Structure 1
């Protein structure tokens, strides 16, 4: 049987570092390929690194089919769950995977609701694929525990705190590609990256290019500017500005307050996370 490597699936999860790949290769050369490659029809789902190493050295390997896969979404969800259970992932990587899972689950629920309401017709479920381009199937029912609608549920799925999820969401939404790459590489902490992500994209990129120390300093400047930010001025009474209504001023004041509250919430989340890290380090020091 010819195994098909789908490049989209291969790139769906963060690749191994060169050091991790070398360690896996040494292990397979010494002990053989112990874990079976997971297939969907002839498409390789799990084991891309093992498959490549076995092909390179002409080593034997085993394969197994997963009969529960009905669509590419099923494959993605399975891959996410498999990797969320691995200890080698960083906190940021687990958070990104959990957010990705929430998005898939939300889209699936929305489609199911549309089908149940009669807005769209239910798609037919095809058989397992024999080629890479497999048609999409009707999604399988989602168990209640798969609901990731709250940050608390999302945090549990990723083994993170709710405050960490908030920070990772901010980085994902506002972070420049250079900043995201720095977080993935471990150059900057999640807390610092979330602060830097509030800066314009050009400033984020410049800080990331300058290295870890500049990223720390940029995060420090952001936090200090939040602490020094003046409170919004109260809106003047309507009779103090003849011929004008106070509605635009009031709206500006509310917007300023909302922005200030959001900044304080993010700062509090970062401080809580730093405190938790310090406590964990202290506990580890005492136990050792």
Structure 2
């Protein structure tokens, strides 16, 4: 049997961690390879880790052909859907995969619309019937639903993809920092992101907190009372300033409590 390893396909999905690979190896050694490897012709589509372990230890395995694939895009979409359905995939990984699916589907829709427009122009003089409606585009809500995350979290994942330094992306993937905190740290210059990652969990939390606090609106300068103000008016002015100061302090404390609540939840979950 000839099995071809396509390096792009093998790298299309994030690799297993060392612990996950070791656990899979123990399972295959004790139970054998129960799930068939998925092929497209001679190309291995699903089961790269199982295949390498079976080859290493001489473990028998079965294969199955997927005859529905018509292109490499079909293979990518199948791989994405297959991994989106797995419970072991993290929220960040699901978000990245769902965004990849959106890119593929959006490109296909654009191509289909271009072909339909050309066909309509060609058939305009022939009195052809109305063309069937196109598949609706993938909205942010659909992408978030596919990834099983909120729209806000999906936006944070997009920001991380666009602006995060490689070190920060690796920290998110490994669970050192949460998506929420990483999106905040991703606002910093790349060298500061890398320095925060090098400093560990505590430094990352501090960097995220500083970014969040820096986004708070600046306090406006208070207006002075009129020059001809009466003592009562001056007293009222001072009390008004005091109320405004206390209100600002209250709002600041509420935000601080929210940040501490997030930090506590992240600490309990083992992330930054």
- On whether the aligned pair clears a TM of 0.5, the verdict is yes
DSSP 3-state at the match of 2:44 = strand
Instruction: Tell which structure's C-alpha radius of gyration is larger.
Output: 2
Q: Which blocks of at least 5 consecutive residues in structure 1 are unaligned?
A: 120-142, 232-267, 282-288
Would the aligned equivalents of 1:54 and 1:61 in 2 still touch at CA under 8 Å? yes
Corresponding residue for 2:168? 179
Which position in structure 2 is the counterpart of 1:65? 65
Judge which range, 199-208 or 187-196, deviates more. Answer: 199-208
Kindly state the Cα deviation for residue 89 of structure 1 after the two structures are TM-superposed.
0.9
Aligned residue for 1:138? Answer: none
Give the alignment of 1:184-263 within 5 angstroms.
184-229=173-218
Query: Which stretches in structure 2 are left out of the alignment for 5+ residues?
Result: 120-133, 221-254
Deviation at 1:177, TM superposition (A): 1.2
1:227 is paired with a residue of what secondary structure? Answer: coil
Give the structure 1 partner of residue 157 of structure 2. Answer: 168
User: Per the alignment, in what secondary structure is the counterpart of residue 49 of structure 1?
Assistant: helix
Find the counterpart in structure 1 of residue 78 from structure 2.
78
Q: Which residue of 1 aligns with 2:87?
A: 87
Q: Report the CA distance between 1:191 and its aligned residue.
A: 0.7
Structure 2: how far apart are the matches of 1:100 and 1:229? 39
Q: Secondary structure at the match of 1:16?
A: coil
Task: Check 1:148–1:207 CA distance in 2 against 1; reply closer, same or farther (3 A cut).
Answer: farther
Q: Among residues 140, 149, 157, which one is paired with 1:151 in the alignment?
A: 140
Quote the offset at 1:148 in angstroms: 5.9
Aligned-pair distance for 1:60?
1.1
Count of residue pairs brought into register by the alignment: 214
User: For the residues of structure 2 that align with 1:169 and 1:230, how far apart are their CA atoms?
Assistant: 31
Structure-1 separation of matches of 2:143 and 2:90:
16
TM-score by length of structure 1 reads 0.70
The match for 1:107 is 107
Deviations 1:235-264 (A, max 9, x none): xxxxxxxxxxxxxxxxxxxxxxxxxxxxxx
CA distance in 2, matches of 1:103, 1:213: 36
Q: Residue 171 of structure 1 contacts residue 194 of structure 1 at CA under 8 Å; is this kept in 2? A: yes
Maintained 8 Å contact 2:92/2:157: yes
Q: Which string of whole-angstrom CA distances, capped at 9 and with x for unpartnered residues, describes residues 27-60 of structure 1?
A: 1111110000000000000000111111111111
